[in-house]
Amino acid sequence: MIVEDMTIQKNECIALNTFEMVISGEEIPLHIQSGQFVHIQIGDGKLNMLRRPLSIADINRISQTITLIYHVTGDGTKWLSTLTEGTILNVLGPLGNGFEIKHSEGNQILVVGGGVGVPPLYHLTKQLVRHYQVTVVLGFATREAVFYEDEFRELTKTYISTDDGTYGHKGFVTDVVSQLDLNFQHYYACGPMPMLQAVQEQMIDTPGQLSFEERMGCGIGACFACVCEAKNDNGYVKICQDGPVLQASEVIL
């Protein structure tokens, strides 16, 4: 695990209450993997808040940058959204276990994301399309909340749904998935818990990996703020330490 001062290269609003931040550094961009996350210190310690866990939307090892997408939901992320290019952020990472990407050549893979769960799927999809047939289904609350549609479409076939029907398919991602006439060998999903539950149930016969955007405390396995019921000897897993990516067959949602 590395603690590094990283420099903001870009921090801009890309959708409703949604910001894209690119930060550069010497170490973390070289070591982080798809599905892992970083913990960002908020307010230089002055706000006396916990670090914020943010998932990685993209990694560029040449420019030594990582891209974070975050939703402004409280004082901490509001503070983050005010920061400008050149600001130094204290970053802890890489944290957690990322996605496993090993399938048979040519397999059909489904990628499903909902709202705040969409970002970690972007870098994953970039890697998957090199070897597999990938279909992406992304769900958002409303039209103004949609982001990264073009970025995903440049990679592969992408479907969008909105809860209120103001853009794309009206309804849930599972409605779109049920209309796809495809036989998937594996799936990946990241999003709010109700979405993960619905996708897990819908894809019950297909191996899959779920990434949890669970609210975290310490981020390093010490506080038990992030536990999820699981089919192991302990009866639970810690999202921050055992996840955030877990096999769908391991967890009880």
Q: Which residues are annotated as a binding site?
A: 52-55, 76-77, 218, 223, 226, 240
**Binding-site annotation: residue ranges for [2Fe-2S] cluster:** 218, 223, 226, 240
Per-residue x/- track, 69-108, ligand FES (CB under 6 A): ----------------------------------------
Contacts with ligand FES in 170-229 (CB under 6 A)?
Answer: 216-219, 221-226
The yes or no reply on residue 245 touching ligand FES (CB under 6 A) is: no
- Minimal distance, residue 215 CB to ligand FES, in Å: 8
What string of H, E and C letters represents the secondary structure of the chain?
A: CEEEEEEEEEEEEEECCEEEEEEECCCHHHHCCCCCEEEECCHHHCCCCCCEEEEEEEEECCCCEEEEEEECCCHHHHHHHCCCCCCEEEEEEEECECCCCCCCCCCEEEEEEEHHHCHHHHHHHHHHCCCCEEEEEEEECCHHHCCCHHHHHHHCEEEEEECCCCCCEECCHHHHHHHCCCCCCEEEEEECHHHHHHHHHHCCCCCEEEEECCCCCCCCCCCCCCEEEECCCCCEEEHHHHCEEEECCCECC
Which is closer to ligand FES, CB of 160 or CB of 216?
216
- Minimal distance, residue 183 CB to ligand FES, in Å: 36
Which is closer to ligand FES, CB of 101 or CB of 240?
240
- Minimal distance, residue 157 CB to ligand FES, in Å: 35
Contacts with ligand FES in 126-165 (CB under 6 A)?
Answer: none
Residues lying near ligand FES in the complex (CB under 6 A) are found at 216-219, 221-226, 238, 240
